[in-house]
Amino acid sequence: MKEITIKGWINEVRSLGGIVFIEIIEGNSLKPITVVVKREENPQLVKVAKKIKLGSAVKIKGLEPEKIISRKGREVHATEIKVLAEPIEPPPLDPTGKTKALLDTIIQYRYFALRLPIQKAIFRIRAGLVEASRIFLSQKGLLEVHTPKICGAGAEGGATVFEIDYFGRRAFLSQSPQLYKQMLMCSLPGVYEITPYFRAEKFNTPRHLNESWGIDAEISFIESYEDVMSLLEDLIIHIFNYLKINYNDELSTLNINLNIPRKPFKRIPYSEVLEILRNEGINLKWGEDLDSEAERVLGEIMKEEGYEAYFITCYPWKAKPFYIMRKNEESESFDLDYKGLELASGGQREHRYHKLVENIKDKMLNPETFSFYLEAFKYGMPPHGGFGLGLDRLLMVIIGVKNIREVVLFPRDRQRLVP
């Protein structure tokens, strides 16, 4: 037998004759450790074990047998039990997971809910998603950057910004790093940022939050926005492969068989999408965005064709922000949808200074507001493009949940400001 020390929380205590079985949640493990305490070996320790409160933080020394009886995983025969902290109230939810908790309860007590293997698996996969993104984008030669989250102008130029008082001046929480990552194309071949977005939209849906996280990338010297779609396509496939190889235990805990999206992703022009939806009885005007029902129907049609992931291209320019390159009434832009849920948007940017100023004016915005941004376009700005990928939404589709709040530790929506 090998002597080991384990530290963790008491998940369950069961007495069976002269033996006490204690389940311990240790570290980031998804499976509990079964601690065995026998009266015949240590009568005093059995008394201690029987009195331990559910949820207590403990340090246990013991011997790990070569032959394991427990079907749940590791087993330790205790020689010493030290209680480090006892709960002063009953746990807010069942740490064994046998009694299901409501989502609101899980969110309220997420710090405790992470003792559940399912909850822990979700956020280990989230960490893996970030790992995979960093590895891929760095290997592609993009530099990781960190742009301001307190800004003098909103990236979209719209009304859905959180305004703050910045020492007597108007400022806003960042909607995205869009303007800054474009400015950096003046000197760098590519950048990426894993970053929060803040949107003051008064939504109350299962797919929207007021603070969310995204993976933003921008690359310079592109030939067309096809270069950007190819980068995003390869990133998605890399993430799926990375999780399947390195996070198999977590996926198994969630009963997920992760299918790698078919490559290349289908490209569908916006005008064709309108026609497809019209044949299904959904009539959208030119320039209208797809609502959730239209996205769902299109997702089902794409699935029948064998595509889980697909790009909607050539959006009307009037429906896109000023920095997107214009092509007559259309734009060099795209959205990436997966099974009927929009995950990302991007495209080629307008890199010509005078055209960009025209775009800003056409959107009824004041170029002076964006003077700090426009300055970077005076010094040889190359053709460039990029995307913003919703990290939270991507995790939703990977683990197959319908509510974005399930994949965010402490979600911020119209109702939640704490914890």
- Catalytically active residues, by annotation: 199, 201, 207-208, 342, 345, 393
Instruction: Report how far residue 225's alpha carbon sits from residue 176's, in angstroms, rounded to the nearest whole number.
Output: 20
Sign of the torsion angle spanned by Cα atoms 242, 245, 246, 250: positive
CB 58, CB 8: distance < 8 Å: yes
CB 232, CB 387: distance < 8 Å: yes
Longest Cα separation, the chain: 87
Instruction: Report how far residue 68's alpha carbon sits from residue 66's, in angstroms, rounded to the nearest whole number.
Output: 6
Strand pairing class (333-338; 309-313)? antiparallel
CB 287, CB 318: distance < 8 Å: yes
Whole-angstrom CA distances from 315 to 101, 121, 257, 309, 311 are 42, 37, 34, 18, 11
CB 341, CB 310: distance < 8 Å: no
Tokens of 330: 């259309």
Tokens of 52: 């331990």
Closest CA to 207 of 345, 398, 341, 388: 341
Strand pairing class (211-220; 190-198)? antiparallel
CB 96, CB 117: distance < 8 Å: no
Q: How far does the chain reach from its first CA to its final CA, in angstroms?
A: 44
Instruction: Report how far residue 114's alpha carbon sits from residue 92's, in angstroms, rounded to the nearest whole number.
Output: 12
CB 156, CB 175: distance < 8 Å: yes
HSE (side-chain half, CA atoms, 13 Å) at 414: 8
Whole-angstrom CA distances from 179 to 134, 155, 258, 348, 376 are 21, 6, 35, 13, 10
Residue 245 burial (10 A CB sphere; 0-12, 13-18, 19+): exposed
